[in-house]
Chains A and B, each alone.
Chain A
């Protein structure tokens, strides 16, 4: 339990934390929160393990991170990109690129193609997950704004009627 779930999430959290240095994030609160997004994303990835498909796991983790970063961007008044870019890092298929290349060097074509396709589909899953989540969130905030406008219009109408 500790070794299978807690440790990977901790490593994901810490790697996202130090990656903030490469991306020049200076605000300490934002560094901490976006690194938490990295840990959370990996936690979602591990929770989705019963689906038994790496692509599905990455997709769910990407959706989680994207929703998290949209909410955090509201709270901390920073662009969602900041949280998103750092939170997604643990999912980026560095291992996939490496193993694809290794099979290529060994001349193992079958495994090379299999790994290569897996890597591409992981990257695709991340991209699709992120875009779906942010599209959903945009829709949500659009309706919220719309409701706000309606309420405001009602208030204005009410004021006008009473002032008559």
Chain B
């Protein structure tokens, strides 16, 4: 074995961290680290992962060695997730040298996500199609498209100001609701409810909802409850944003 245990531990932690950051489930993170360490000849590793931290302890000549990775916030990037997953599989199967694994991790990390324009268009068209999906008509969908664009701008602006997720979701959904109500009152569209639903679909925590029970059934109750809190907070933020917009319109405009 050419690589030291330290390097192997470091590579395993980085791999797990990246899978966690890009939207992987906890059991996937723990299994990846475990398989990776076993493939490189380190057995009986103690691995603990929750959405905010990964702790791995291995033993070297009877002495414990621990590494902690603090994960702050995650952005879902399924492309990178699938690449890291693939990398860990390849590394375990072909016993790639640890240095080249580290290099590949850095390479995948530095890959650019979709450009701002593409992302803007995805937000717009997501709102467009979801509005049609929730039985809005074509004019509603066009207004929803504009709402989707405004969502992306809001989120971008908020993330530059480093505000928390709760606040940025609340502000984005408030802006959506204002635009929708304004356009309906101007006669550009018919159903403000359909527009708002279509546009908030990109904010609703769908990933967390699907992963909660999977985590709990896999035995990660801490993660499950953390994510449950996240889902409730996000849903609450969206509801508060729209409620704020609606009640100010009702209060100052005397009705919707």
Q: A residues near B, CB below 8 A?
A: 8, 11-12, 14-15, 18-27, 30, 62, 77-79, 81-82, 84-86, 88-90, 92-95, 97-102, 104-105, 123-124, 126-128, 130-131, 134-135
In contact, A24 and B24 (Cβ under 8 angstroms): no
A94 to B196, CA, bound (A): 9
Q: Which of A21, A27, A88 contacts B210 (CB 8 A)?
A: A88
When the two chains form their complex, are residues B82 and A78 in contact, meaning their CB atoms are under 8 A apart? yes
* B1, CB-defined interface residue at 8 Å: no
What 1/0 mask marks residues of chain B from 194 to 214 whose CB sits below 8 Å from any chain A CB? 001100111010110111111
- A98 in contact with B242 (CB, 8 Å): yes
B243: CB under 8 A from chain A? Answer: yes
B217–A95 CB distance below 8 A: no
Contact with A along B12-49 (1 / 0, CB 8 A): 00000000000111001000000000000000000000
Q: Which residues of B contact A (CB under 8 A)?
A: 23-25, 28, 76-82, 85-86, 113-114, 118-119, 121-123, 125-126, 128-130, 132-134, 193, 196-197, 200-202, 204, 206-207, 209-214, 216-217, 231, 235, 238-239, 242-243, 246-247, 250
Given A77-B86, A89-B206, A123-B209: A22 in contact with B80 (beta carbons within 8 A): no
In contact, A90 and B78 (Cβ under 8 angstroms): no
Which listed residue, B121, B204, B213, touches A94 by the CB 8 Å rule?
B204
CA distance A160 to B6 in the complex (A): 41
CB–CB A8/B133 < 8 A: yes
Q: How far is the CA of A109 from the CA of B130 in the complex (A)?
A: 28
- A131 neighbours in B (Cβ, 8 Å): 213-214, 216-217
Query: Which single residue of chain B is at the shortest CB-CB distance from A127?
Result: B213
Contact yes or no, A92 B119, CB < 8 A: no
Question: Which residues of A have CB within 8 Å of B77?
Answer: 23-24
Asked if B119 contacts A25 (CB within 8 A), the reply is no
What is the interface of chain A mostly: helix, strand, loop, or mixed?
Answer: helix
| 27 A-B contact pairs sorted by A residue (CB < 8 Å) | A14-B125, A15-B126, A15-B129, A15-B130, A18-B121, A18-B126, A21-B114, A21-B125, A22-B123, A22-B126, A23-B77, A24-B79, A24-B80, A27-B79, A27-B82, A77-B86, A79-B81, A81-B25, A84-B210, A85-B23, A89-B206, A92-B206, A94-B201, A98-B193, A98-B239, A101-B239, A127-B213
Instruction: List the B residue with the shortest CB-CB distance to A98.
Output: B197
Residue with the highest number of chain A CB atoms closer than 10 Å, among B132, B133, B204, B206: B133
Residue contact A79 to B24, C-beta cutoff 8 Å = yes
Q: Check A24/B239 contact, CB under 8 A, given A11-B132, A85-B78, A131-B214.
A: no
Give chain A residues whose Cβ lies under 8 Å from the Cβ of B193: 98-99, 102
Chain A proximity of B22: nearest CB distance (Å): 9
Which residues of chain A are near B81, meaning CB under 8 Å?
A: 79, 81-82
Task: Say yes or no: B86 contacts A82, CB within 8 Å.
Answer: no
Beyond contacts A14-B125, A78-B85: 11 other A-B pairs, Cβ-Cβ < 8 A, are: A11-B130, A11-B132, A18-B122, A18-B125, A23-B76, A23-B77, A79-B85, A82-B81, A85-B206, A97-B200, A135-B217
Known: A85-B210, A92-B209. A22 touches B200 (CB 8 A): no
Known: A79-B81, A98-B196. A89 touches B213 (CB 8 A): no
The 7 closest A-B pairs by CB, nearest first: A21-B122, A127-B213, A15-B129, A11-B133, A101-B239, A92-B206, A131-B213
